[in-house]
Structure 1
Amino acid sequence: MDFETEQKFLLSKHVGYLLANLQQLPAPYAGQESNRLTLAYFAVVGLKMLDALDEGAVPEITEWVYSLQVIPEKGQVENGTCYGFRGSPSLGIPYSETGVPSQHQYDSANIAATYSALAILRSFGDDLSRVAREPILRTLQRLQQSDGSFGSVCAEAESDMRFVFCAAAICSILGDQTAIDVDAAVQFIHRSRGYSGGFGLASGLEAHGGATYCAVAALKLLERLPRQGNALGTEANGCGRTGTEGMGTTLEWCLQRQTSSGGLQGRANKDADTCYAFWVGASLEMLGGYSFLDRQSLRRFLFRCQNQKYGGFSKHPGELPDLLHTFYGICGLSLVGQDGLRRIDVSLGVPVT
C-alpha cells in the first residue's frame, strides 16, 4: 500500500462493498445465516453512516425487518416463547410477503436480533408503531438472570455483558426501563470490572474491549454512568445507588489499549484490530477521555485496514474485508472526525439524528 492510499478514505469503495453485501452475501457467510439480521444491521446502518443508502430501499428493508418479528397470538403472551425479532427468515416460519408476522411452536426471538432490528428501524426514523412493545419488555423481564445479567434466549443459554447491553439498548429505544431490574443489572456490570479497570463478560473474566464497551454503554443507557468530567473521581457519582467508585481506572485501561501501530487492541498484549477503534474509542468518548488518544495515528491505522480492490475494512492491514470490521471501521472513523461520515450515537450504535 502506498503512502497516498494510507492518507485517503475510500468512501465510494466502501459504499460499493456494503451495497454488494446487502444485495447478496458471499458464500463464507453461510455459517452466519442465523445472524442475518445482525449482518443486515452492519450493512444498512453502515450505509446510513456513509449517507449512501437509497431512500427508495428503506420501505422494502423496513418490511423485511418487521417480517422477522415474533409476536404472540391473542392470549398467548405467557406461553414460554421469546418475543421480539428472530435472527433470520430461515428460522421459524417462512418469510411472508404480506408483512404479517406470526409465530410457530419452535420459533423464538433472541435479544441480539431484537437489538439489531430496533437499531435499523431507529436509524430509519421509524415510529416503531408496529413493534410489539409489551411482549418484548415481558421477554426482557424473563431473560434477566438472578445475578442481574441477561440471557440471549428464553432457554438455558449463555448470559453475559453482551446481552446486558442489548437489554439496555432495547429499553432505551422503546423508552421504558420498568420491565427490568436496573439496580441488579448495574451491580452485575460493576462486579464484572477487573483489577485493571477494564470489564470482562462476567465477574472474574479477563478485561476485554468489547465487554468494556457493552458495560460502559449499558451504564450510559441506564443513566448510571458518571458525568463527563467526573470519570476520574471516586466520590458519589452518576452510578448513584450502586455506591461504586468513579470510572478513572476504566478510562486509563482504555487509553492503554492504543498500540505503537496507532490502532486500538481489545486486550493487553494483542495486536490492534479495526473493531476496537469503535468499541474502545466509544468507551473513551462516553467517559470523556477520547481527546487523549493519538487520533491521527488511529486514523492512519484504519486507512491501512481498507481494502483497495473491494472496499470495506479488514481486521488487520492486508487482510480481506468483512462486514463487522467494515461497520466498526466506519464508526471508528466517525469518532475520529473523518469528513463524509455522519456522527455516531456511541451508546446505541446508530447515526445521530
Structure 2
Amino acid sequence: MGELATDKHVRYILSVEKKKDSFESVVMEHLRMNGAYWGLTALDIMGKLDTVDVNEVVSWIMSWGFGGNVGHDPHILYTLSAVQVLALFNKLDVVDVDKVTTYIVSLQNEDGSFSGDIWGEVDTRFSYIAICCVSILHRLDRINVEKAVKYIISCKNMDGGFGCTPGGESHAGQIFCCVGALAITGSLDLVDKDLLGWWLCERQVKSGGLNGRPEKLPDVCYSWWVLSSLIMIDRVHWISKEKLIKFILDCQDTEKGGISDRPDDAVDVFHTYFGVAGLSLLEYPGLKPIDPAYALPVDVVDRIFFSK
C-alpha cells in the first residue's frame, strides 16, 4: 500500500490559491469560499495550517459579505464555509453572530425546510448547513429545530436513505446532510440505522472506492459522504476500510500533489480535501481526527463547544 504524499499535497493546496488566473481558478471563481474551506481544512488535518497567513485569510473573508467570492450575492453555502474557516483559526470572535444568525433564520420556511438564498431554492443540503452554522455560533435555539427535523425526516425514503426534497432519490451526499443535521440536533434515533447502513455499505465497489448511488462509478468524495454517515450511525465496520484506504491513495498525484476523483484523473482541491478527510475518518496515521458531523477537526469542535 502506498503512503500519503503529505508534503506534495500541502504544496499543491498552497499553489492553487496563488494561481488566480489558471483554468481551475477561473472555473472555481464562484466557489472560492468553499475552496478556501476545503484547502485550509485539509491543511489542518495534515497538521500544516501554520503554512498560511492567518490575518490575510481572515481579512479576505471579512471583506466579501458571505457570497462565493468578493462581490457575489450572499448564500447559505458560503456562509457556512466562512464560519468553518474562521473556526479553524479560532477567529469566530470577528463574526457578527446576530447578523449571520438573523440571515439564516430568515431562510427557514414554514414547513421547516431551508432555502439557500433569497431566490428560494429548497434542498436538504441547506437544512444541514443552517443547522451546522447556527450550532457552531451557539445559536441553535434561534431556528425552529423541531420543524427542521420533521422536514428532514419527510425526505426519508423506503430504502432508508434521504433525498434533496420529499420523494427525491436517495443520494450519499444528501444522506450525509440529513444524518449530519440529525446528529447535531440529537435526533439520530429517527434513522433506521440498519436499513440505511445496508444502503451505504452497498456503495463500496470492487476497487474499494465508494459511489454515491447504485450503478455509478466510485469517487473519492464519497469517501467522506458515505463514510461519515456510516460512522454517525455506528455501521462503519460494514465496509472494508483497508480497500478504501488503498483506493484513496491510488488517486494521489505523487509527483505534483493533489488527489483526484479516480486513479489517473486530474486532481483538484475539492477531491484533495475529501480524500484527506476520508483518510482521517479511517484513522490513517499522522492525520488529525475530523468530526463526522461538523466536518471540522475534532480539536476545533472541542474548542468551539468545550473551551471556556
Q: Which bin holds the TM-score, normalised by the shorter protein?
A: over 0.9
Q: Distance in 1 between matches of 2:116 and 2:155?
A: 18
Q: Which amino acid aligns with 1:46?
A: A
The 1-side partners of 2:17 and 2:49 are apart by 11
Please say if residues 210 and 279 of structure 1, whose CA atoms lie closer than 8 Å, have aligned partners that are also in contact. Answer: yes
- The separation in 1 between residues aligned to 2:6 and 2:113, in whole angstroms, is 39
CA contact (8 A) 2:16 2:25 kept: no
- Name the aligned partner's letter for residue 315 of structure 1: D
Task: Tell me the distance in 1 between the aligned counterparts of 2:12 and 2:136.
Answer: 29
Matched to 2:34, the amino acid is T
Give, in whole Å, the separation in 2 of the partners of 1:30 and 1:252: 40
Higher relative contact order (CA 8 A, sep 6+): 2
Gaps of 5+ in 1: 1-5, 70-84, 92-107, 227-238, 240-244
Show the counterpart of 2:250: 304
- 1:261 matched to which residue of 2? 207
Q: 2: CA distance between counterparts of 1:150 and 1:283?
A: 21
1:318 is displaced (CA, Å) by 1.0
Task: Write out aligned runs for 1:110-189 (5 A).
Answer: 110-126=75-91, 128-154=92-118, 156-189=119-152
Q: CA offsets, 1:119-168, max 9 Å, x none?
A: 01111122x222111122222221112332111112x2311011111101
Counterpart for residue 341 of structure 1? 287
Between the aligned partners of 1:166 and 1:281, the Cα distance in structure 2 is: 19
Whether 1:109 aligns to 2:74 is yes
For residue 55 of structure 1, report the CA deviation from its aligned partner: 5.6
Q: Which one of the candidate residues 281, 304, 310 is aligned to 2:227? A: 281
Q: Size of the alignment, in residue pairs?
A: 298
Q: 1:178 aligns to what SS in structure 2?
A: helix
**Does the 8 A contact of 2:160 with 2:192 survive in 1?**
no
Note the alpha carbon deviations across 1:35-85, whole angstroms, 9 max, x for none. Answer: 21111111111111111122661122112112223xxxxxxxxxxxxxxx2
Query: SS of the residue aligned with 2:175?
Result: helix
Q: Does 1:36 align with 2:32?
A: yes
More off after superposition, 341-350 vs 19-28:
19-28
* Cα distance in structure 1, aligned partners of 2:223 and 2:32: 24
- Matched residue of 2:173: which SS? helix
Which structure 2 segments of 5+ residues have no match? 300-308
Q: Pick one of 59, 65, 68 that aligns with 1:87.
A: 68
Superposed CA deviations along residues 264-309 of structure 1, whole A, max 9, x for unmatched, are: 1100111111000011000011111112220000001111111123
Corresponding position of 1:212: 175
Please say if residues 111 and 166 of structure 1, whose CA atoms lie closer than 8 Å, have aligned partners that are also in contact. Answer: yes
Q: Does the residue aligned with 1:159 lie in a helix, a strand or coil?
A: coil
What RMSD, in angstroms, separates the aligned Cα atoms of the two structures? 1.5
Matched, 1:351 2:291: no
Query: Using the alignment, how far apart are the partners of 2:52 and 2:14 within structure 1?
Result: 14
Instruction: Kindly indicate which of the two structures has a greater share of residues assigned to helix.
Output: 2
Q: Tell whether 2:55 aligns with 1:48.
A: no
TM-score by length of 1: 0.81
Q: Alpha-carbon deviations, 1:76-124, whole Å to 9, x = none? A: xxxxxxxxx2221143xxxxxxxxxxxxxxxx42111110001011111
TM-score, L = length of structure 2? 0.92
Structure 2 counterpart of 1:327, from 269, 273, 282:
273
Distance 1:263 1:174 in 2: 35
Give me the whole-angstrom Cα distance separating, in 1, the residues matched to 2:142 and 2:51.
35
Q: Percent identity, please.
A: 33
Aligned residue for 2:27, secondary structure, equals helix
Letter in 1 for 2:176: Y
